[in-house]
Structure 1
Amino acid sequence: MTLTAPTVPAPRISYSAVLGTPYVARLLGGTLTGRLPNGMAPVAIVLWSLAAGRGIAFGGLLSALYGLASGLSQPVKGRMMDRYGQRTVHLPAAVLNSALLVALPFTGPYGGAALATAVVVAAGLTAPCLEAGLRALWPSVLPDLRLRHAALALDTGTQGLLYIVGPLLAAAVASAYGPAAALAITAVLGLAGTLVVATAPPSRRWRPTPTAVGTGPARRLASPQLASLFVALAGVGFTIGALNVLAVALSDASGRQMLSGLLPASFSAGSFLGGLVYGRRARPGSTTHQLIFSSAAFLAGWLPLLALRNPYAATATVALPGAFLTVVVACAYVTTDALTPTGRTSEAYAWLICSIGIGQAAGTALAGRLADHALAIAALPAAGAVLALAVLLLTRPGQAPTGLNRGCRSHT
């Protein structure tokens, strides 16, 4: 008779073990600080436009151009990091971005709207690619896969805080000291955070893998699996963009202005808490199954909005899809890593971020057109989630046929 030893469950992951690993807290804290301008700059730019007498419409245009330029330039900066290293890209980008934000208030007397637009677009193009860079560093900083997944969940979950703290900080500084000061503080925080990351030993030691610029299949980044994953993530971004406009529409309809901030804050808080729970628990099944399950739960979380008419009930409800957003994005990063040729991870991560940003812009634009139709705008977040889930179910990007991922690393 053969005795089988009982299966011992894996110990629960401790965030103290993750943050206690050398350089993790520094890299995470520096990246979050350096990315605060993502939440601060759009608000500070609009406030400066109002104070300069150019109006909210022009300020909104500048803010949109800043975000669009930053998002579309991500893959280029990711490709440059894969070729030349992180410090070579991060530091010049941060210096230029900070200088341009500080220079924006001086464009009024010396060129008007055209010069202001050029400065804002250039500032967006030079925004440091810290998020993709951090994801590329995790394998070298955290060789243990379970700790790496926990760090990725923590990293992804805390992103929502940037869009709560950032706008509030920009508004508070602008109210106390003026919009020019808000732009200056934005520039200082972006530069300081980037310096913390770029001077850390893992970032200084990080070098691109030679095969990234070689010949053969490893050179090609594009694949049907990655393309389908990025389309799905554009659907996720669509829901986020639609939610921001939905919050304003509910605020306007109810006469309660604070709802425009409460709804996104509830969604972001759910994302943060979901990331904390996800990162500490063992995850059964493949990453592909986790991605599909979390996408289905993400969709289910939006459906109550179709029936709810009370704005405060809607505010509480959006915390649920927010909790699964972190899981979807974290699994998407792991899947991207599995499908990406060695040495092209920074660029692949940048395309992932760009896909979400493009979807977010599309969701914002369409929701703006449908803002007067209550049921239609309430359905838009679910529509984006439907697209994401449908693409994932049809393509199952993490389950590539044998031979397709030659030269790739599989963590799924």
Structure 2
Amino acid sequence: MATDLVRKYRLLFAVPGFRLSAVAALTAKLQPGMYAVSLLALGSHHLDYGGATLVVAAASFGAMTTPLRGRLLDRYSYAAVLWPLLALHLGTLLLFVAAARAHAGLTALFCLSVLAAVSLPPIGTLTRVMWRKAVPGDLRTTALALDSVLADFGFMIGPVAAVALARSITPDAALLVCGLLVSVAVPLGLRGAAVRAPKEAPAREHGAGPLRSAALRRVFSVAFCFFLGVNVMEVSLASYGRKGEVTLAGGALLSLIALASMAGGALLGGLPARAAQRLIHPTVPLGGNAVCLLLLAVASFVHPFLVPLACLPVGFCLGPCFASVYGTAADHAGKGEEAETQSWVAGAMMAGGGLGAAVGGWSLAHGGLAGALLLASVAWAAGAVCGARVPRLSPAVEGPRVASEASAE
């Protein structure tokens, strides 16, 4: 198993242009992990904490325009979309920093936060679409698994890096580093795209885009339910041991889940292609996560020692969920709508995550840790039910299979 795992990742990184795009993906995953905390650190230095949280919320509102930017990627060349967005994003970030230093009011910072989020180049969408086109069919699950591992890494390292930069240098240092990461990701992503994934002419347009597909609407529902459960779980575990206050024990549990998620995603990428295709259907990982979360709720009742152990299977199933949702959406995406489809998945996750953060706090206050975890389990079970109605496809291979060594599976 270990030999197969290493072999498949070695073959993946041997694909022309993949290493450049993987570095672009890594920098793009670090940015969202840092961004919210960076805004909070800078905003709270010049505003009260409640005002700073509104600035962060403004970024979430702006991020909901991701499907529009995805449509632009489908319609025009990648460079024609990403370079202007990068210039606008960096300019807005600099204006935000200058406004904060000038002690501008909440309204100005709120508006700049929205504009910065609206203009953020969708590098994550670009890399997933590019890998779909450039990677041989029997390595696509490996690429999706790597994407989920990088996402976990970014969200585990990003907040810590943002706090360290804001406290050790200046309050705006972390936000400036976020801009630097995007500045690195865009040219690397474009260079990787130019090597192996030429832009195709889009198919005939339809006003509703991916939303006209019943299968994709179900996939977006799966994404919504998935991240609803994720954020309910995060909010409830973050205050483990002391209701209503973030604790070190809660942070340790979330880090443990993130590490297990990275392991689960990496192992999924090493499975034989047929086995991975069976496991990547949304019903399997989301249903497994729902059961594992029920076990975690029971463990919180029985003994505190069992809670860290019960977190491991939850995290182990979490990584494959990301690969499942994005991969299933890619399988059902229409020609010329690939980037917009991936963007709708991200938008559905953000919407579910926002609701999960609010509902998670309420359920924790009224039902305790076990009640909140049960609610997260219900959300994941609902996602698994939605996923069961998504047709299973055997996606056509775009490009050659990996020679002999990978084809022997």
TM range (shorter): 0.7 to 0.9
Q: Evaluate the alpha carbon distance shift between residue 229 and residue 50 of structure 1 in structure 2; reply closer, same or farther with a 3 A threshold.
A: same
Q: Give the match for residue 231 of structure 2.
A: 241
> How many angstroms does 1:236 deviate by?
0.6
- 1:270-308: per-residue Cα shift (whole Å, max 9, x none)? 221111111111154694664222222121111122222
Whether contact under 8 Å (2:261, 2:316) holds in the other structure is yes
Q: 2:354 & 2:244 partners in 1: Cα distance?
A: 25
Letter in 1 for 2:38: A
Q: Residue 349 of structure 1: which of 318, 342, 347 is its match?
A: 342
**Structure 1 segments unaligned to the other structure (5+ residues):** 1-9, 401-408
Q: Could you tell me which amino acid in structure 1 is paired with residue 235 of structure 2? A: V
State the Cα distance separating 1:410 from its structure 2 match. 4.8
SS at match of 1:281: coil
Any residues of structure 2 matched to 1:176-195 within 5 Å, and which? 176-195=168-187
Q: What one-letter code is carried by the residue in structure 1 that aligns with 2:385?
A: A
TM-score (norm 1): 0.86
Change (3 A) 1:60 1:145: same
Any conservation in 2 of the 1:18–1:147 contact (CA below 8 Å)? Answer: yes
Name the structure 2 match of 1:119.
Answer: 112
Report the residue type matching 2:89 in the other structure.
N
Q: In the alignment, which of 328, 346, 361 is matched to residue 368 of structure 1?
A: 361
- Shift in Å, 1:241: 1.0
| Aligned-partner Cα distance in 2 for 1:319–1:203 | 39
- Residue aligning to 2:382: 387
The 1:282–1:240 alpha-carbon spacing in structure 2 relative to 1, beyond 3 Å, is: same
Segment drifting more, 340-349 vs 327-336: 327-336
Task: Indicate whether 1:16 and 2:5 are aligned.
Answer: no
Q: What is the TM-score with the length of structure 2 in the denominator?
A: 0.87
From 150, 154, 163, the equivalent of 2:155 is 163
Aligned pairs (5 A) from 1:33-182: 33-52=27-46, 54-70=47-63, 72-108=64-100, 109=102, 111-142=104-135, 144-182=136-174
- Alpha-carbon offset, residue 216 of structure 1: 11
**What residue is the counterpart of 1:303 in the other structure?**
294
Give the letter aligned to residue 67 of structure 1: S
Runs ≥4 residues deviating over 6 A: none
- Equivalent residue number for residue 190 of structure 2: 198
Within 5 A, what are the aligned runs for 1:271-286?
A: 271-284=261-274
CA deviation string 1:167-187 (max 9, x = no partner): 111111111112111111121
State the distance in 2 between where 1:240 and 1:121 align.
24
Task: Report percent identity of matched pairs.
Answer: 19
Alignment CA distance shift 1:314-1:288 (3 Å):
same
Question: How many angstroms does 1:258 deviate by?
Answer: 1.4
The yes-or-no answer on 1:314 pairing with 2:312 is no
RMSD: 2.8
Count of aligned pairs between the two proteins: 389
- Kindly state the Cα deviation for residue 348 of structure 1 after the two structures are TM-superposed: 0.6
Partner of 1:230: 220
* CA distances 1:363-411 after superposition (whole Å, capped 9, x unpaired): 1110122232313222222121111112223x133369xxxxxxxx657
